[in-house]
C-alpha cells in the first residue's frame, strides 16, 4: 500500500488506518469495537442444527425438552404439539445460512383454553453466562434479541425476558406480516438496575415466546419496563396457535446480544462448527450410543459402554466410570434403551442406573443387575442392539 494512502492522523490517534477511503467498521461493530464481550454466542444451538433426542416428529402434551437441543416446550393443558427439527431448502432464513429450524405444529387443538392454560417456547440461560448484562448494577446493559420466525398465522406476538433469580420480567412484541414466510425480527429490551443474576450454574434468565394462553396470562399489559413478574402480563399478545390443527410456528437463528441494535446494526449471527455446537449442547444433555446429531449412526450390537466392578454390599450392585463428551452442568438424570449387563460371558438385565458422583470429565454410575454377580470380576454395561443408547440430562 502506498504510504500516501494511509491516514497518518488515524494512526497517531489509535484508530485503525484504512486504505483507499474505506471504513474500518464491519457489520455490527460500534465505533470500531466488537460489541460482543463474549467470544461465544450467548445462545447455544441458535441455528437449531443439533437434535440429540430426535429430529422428530414427536407429539407432546406436557412441558419438557423433546427435540432440538436447548429448546424447551412449556405446555400446560393446551392440547398437543408436534415437534420437528425442520430442514430448510429455500426462503429468507435459508438464504441467510440457516439449514435447520425448530418447528411446532398444533397436533391436538384447544380453541377455548381454560384460564390457567398456557403454551409457549422457552430458552433458559444459566447465571454464569449472563453476567455480561451487569443486571442489578448501576452499569446494567440493555438486551437485543433477534430470530427468524415463520407461521401460517399473521399477527402480533410477545417475547418475555424473565429473571428467575429475582422474579422479574420485561416484554416486547413482534409482528408476523406474511403467512408461511421466514421473517427476521429484532427486539430491544431495557437494562435493569434492580436484582443481580446469580453467579452459578442455575437458571437465571428465561426467554419466553408466547404462543397461546388462557385469561390468567392474557388479561394484563405487555411490560415494556422491568417489573415484578405477573402472570397476567406474560401472553397479552400471542398467536392463538392452538386454536386449529392447521397452525404451525417455526424459529431459527436465535441470537442474544449485549446492547441495543437495529436490523441494520445487529452483529452477524455467529455460526459454530458442528463439533463445537454439539459440545456446548452436551453441557446440558448427552446421548451416548445411537445419536441422530452425530450423522445418525447406530450403535453396533454388543458394543461396550463402560466397565466396572461389583460392589461388596450387594451381589447385584456395581459401579462404572463413564467418560463424557463434555462436563455436564450438574449431576444428570439417566435413562437407557437397549443396555444390559455382562460378566464372564453371561448377560443380565439392567434394573437401575444412577449418577453417583459427577467428576467433570467423567461420572461414576451406580448400577443394579437383575441377578447376582461374581465377586471382584469385571462387569460391563453393553449396548444390546443397533439402537442402544444412554441419555444423560442436566437441563435447566
The reply to whether 152 falls in a domain is yes
What is the C-alpha to C-alpha distance for residues 340 and 260, in angstroms, rounded to an integer?
53
Residue 28 burial (C-beta neighbours within 10 Å; 0-12, 13-18, 19+) = middle
In this prediction the pTM is 0.90
Residue 167 lies in domain: 58-281
Pairing of strands 339-343, 378-383: antiparallel
The reply to whether 276 falls in a domain is yes
**Largest Cα span, the chain:** 85
pLDDT at site 386 = 82
SS3 19: helix
pLDDT at site 37 = 63
Looking at the structure, tell me whether residues 157 and 305 fall in a common domain.
no
What is the C-alpha to C-alpha distance for residues 68 and 96, in angstroms, rounded to an integer?
20
SS3 145: strand
pLDDT at site 214 = 98
Alpha helix ranges (H) inside 207-358 = 274-281
Which of 50, 302, 256 shows the shortest CA–CA distance to 143?
Answer: 256
Cis amide prior to 57 (ω within 30 degrees): yes
Looking at the structure, tell me whether residues 118 and 153 fall in a common domain.
yes
Under the banding of pLDDT at 50, 70 and 90, the label for residue 103 is very high
pLDDT > 70? residue 249? yes
Looking at the structure, tell me whether residues 91 and 234 fall in a common domain.
yes
What is the C-alpha to C-alpha distance for residues 311 and 20, in angstroms, rounded to an integer?
74
Which of 141, 142, 234, 149 shows the shortest CA–CA distance to 188?
Answer: 142
How far separated are the first and last CA of the chain, in Å rounded? 53
The reply to whether 42 falls in a domain is no
Looking at the structure, tell me whether residues 203 and 242 fall in a common domain.
yes
Point out the least confidently predicted range of 8-22, 74-88, 344-358.
8-22
Radius of gyration, CA atoms only, the chain: 25
Looking at the structure, tell me whether residues 195 and 119 fall in a common domain.
yes
Question: Cα–Cα–Cα angle for 226, 229, 235, nearest 5°?
Answer: 95
pLDDT at site 5 = 42
Looking at the structure, tell me whether residues 105 and 141 fall in a common domain.
yes
The reply to whether 1 falls in a domain is no
Tens of pLDDT, residue by residue over 110-143, are 999 999 999 999 999 999 999 999 999 999 999 9
CB-CB contact of 53 with 66 (8 Å): yes
Domain boundary among 233, 256, 281: 281
What is the C-alpha to C-alpha distance for residues 181 and 28, in angstroms, rounded to an integer?
25
If you average pLDDT over every residue of the chain, what do you get? 90
The total of structural domains in the chain comes to 2
What is the C-alpha to C-alpha distance for residues 73 and 60, in angstroms, rounded to an integer?
9
SS3 185: strand
SS3 394: coil
Domain boundary among 265, 281, 297: 281
What is the C-alpha to C-alpha distance for residues 286 and 391, in angstroms, rounded to an integer?
6
What is the C-alpha to C-alpha distance for residues 174 and 157, in angstroms, rounded to an integer?
6
Under the banding of pLDDT at 50, 70 and 90, the label for residue 18 is very low
Domain boundary among 224, 246, 281: 281
CB atoms within 10 A of CB 40: 12
Looking at the structure, tell me whether residues 277 and 319 fall in a common domain.
no
Tens of pLDDT, residue by residue over 183-196, are 999 999 999 999 99
CATH number, domain at 305?
A: 2.60.40
Looking at the structure, tell me whether residues 205 and 114 fall in a common domain.
yes
The reply to whether 45 falls in a domain is no
What is the C-alpha to C-alpha distance for residues 219 and 307, in angstroms, rounded to an integer?
57
pLDDT > 90? residue 33? no
The reply to whether 294 falls in a domain is yes
Looking at the structure, tell me whether residues 171 and 197 fall in a common domain.
yes
CATH number, domain at 149?
A: 2.60.120
The reply to whether 251 falls in a domain is yes
The reply to whether 111 falls in a domain is yes
Looking at the structure, tell me whether residues 204 and 353 fall in a common domain.
no
Looking at the structure, tell me whether residues 337 and 267 fall in a common domain.
no
Phi-psi map region of 206: left, alpha, beta (phi>0 left; psi -120 to 50 alpha): beta
CB atoms within 10 A of CB 333: 12
Tens of pLDDT, residue by residue over 332-350, are 999 999 999 999 989 999 9
Q: What are phi and psi of 358, to 5 degrees?
A: -110, 115
Looking at the structure, tell me whether residues 188 and 318 fall in a common domain.
no
DSSP letter string, 309-327: EE-SS-TTEEEEEEE-SS-
Helix, strand, coil percentages for the chain (3-state, nearest 5): 10, 40, 50
Amino acid at each position: 500500500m502506498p504510504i500516501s494512502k494511509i491516514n497518518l492522523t488515524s494512526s497517531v490517534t489509535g484508530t485503525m488506518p484504512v486504505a483507499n477511503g474505506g471504513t474500518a467498521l464491519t457489520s455490527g461493530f460500534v465505533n470500531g469495537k466488537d460489541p460482543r464481550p463474549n467470544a461465544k454466542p450467548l445462545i447455544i444451538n441458535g441455528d437449531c442444527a443439533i437434535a440429540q433426542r430426535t429430529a422428530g416428529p414427536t407429539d407432546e402434551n406436557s412441558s419438557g425438552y423433546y427435540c432440538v437441543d436447548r429448546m424447551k416446550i412449556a405446555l400446560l393443558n393446551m392440547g398437543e404439539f408436534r415437534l420437528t427439527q425442520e430442514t430448510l431448502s429455500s426462503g429468507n432464513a435459508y438464504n441467510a445460512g440457516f439449514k435447520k429450524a425448530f418447528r411446532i405444529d398444533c397436533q391436538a387443538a384447544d380453541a377455548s383454553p381454560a384460564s390457567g392454560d398456557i403454551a409457549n417456547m422457552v430458552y433458559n440461560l444459566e447465571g454464569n453466562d449472563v453476567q455480561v448484562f451487569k443486571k442489578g448494577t448501576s452499569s446494567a446493559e440493555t438486551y437485543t434479541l433477534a430470530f427468524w420466525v415463520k407461521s401460517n398465522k399473521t399477527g402480533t406476538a410477545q417475547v418475555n425476558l424473565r429473571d428467575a433469580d429475582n422474579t422479574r420480567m420485561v416484554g416486547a412484541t413482534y409482528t408476523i406480516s406474511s403467512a408461511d414466510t421466514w421473517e427476521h425480527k429484532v427486539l430491544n429490551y431495557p437494562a435493569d438496575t434492580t436484582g443481580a443474576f446469580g453467579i452459578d450454574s442455575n437458571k437465571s434468565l428465561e426467554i419466553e415466546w408466547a404462543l397461546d394462553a388462557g385469561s390468567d396470562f392474557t388479561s394484563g399489559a405487555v411490560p415494556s419496563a422491568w417489573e415484578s413478574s405477573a402472570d397476567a402480563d406474560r401472553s397479552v399478545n400471542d398467536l392463538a396457535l392452538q386454536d386449529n390443527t392447521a397452525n404451525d410456528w417455526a424459529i431459527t437463528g436465535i441470537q442474544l446480544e449485549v446492547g441495543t441494535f437495529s436490523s441494520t446494526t445487529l452483529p452477524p449471527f455467529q455460526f459454530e462448527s458442528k463439533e463445537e455446537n454439539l459440545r456446548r449442547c452436551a453441557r446440558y444433555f448427552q446421548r451416548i450410543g445411537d445419536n441422530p446429531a452425530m450423522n445418525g449412526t447406530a450403535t453396533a450390537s454388543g458394543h461396550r459402554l463402560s466397565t466396572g466392578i461389583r460392589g461388596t454390599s450387594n451381589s447385584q450392585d456395581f459401579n462404572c466410570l463413564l467418560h463424557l463428551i463434555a462436563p455436564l452442568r450438574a449431576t444428570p438424570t439417566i435413562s437407557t434403551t437397549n443396555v444390559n449387563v455382562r460378566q464372564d460371558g453371561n448377560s443380565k438385565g439392567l434394573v437401575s442406573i444412577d449418577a453417583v458422583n459427577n467428576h467433570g470429565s467423567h461420572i461414576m454410575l451406580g448400577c443394579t443387575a437383575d441377578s447376582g454377580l461374581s465377586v471382584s470380576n469385571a462387569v460391563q454395561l453393553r449396548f444390546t442392539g443397533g439402537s442402544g443408547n444412554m441419555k444423560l440430562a442436566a437441563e435447566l
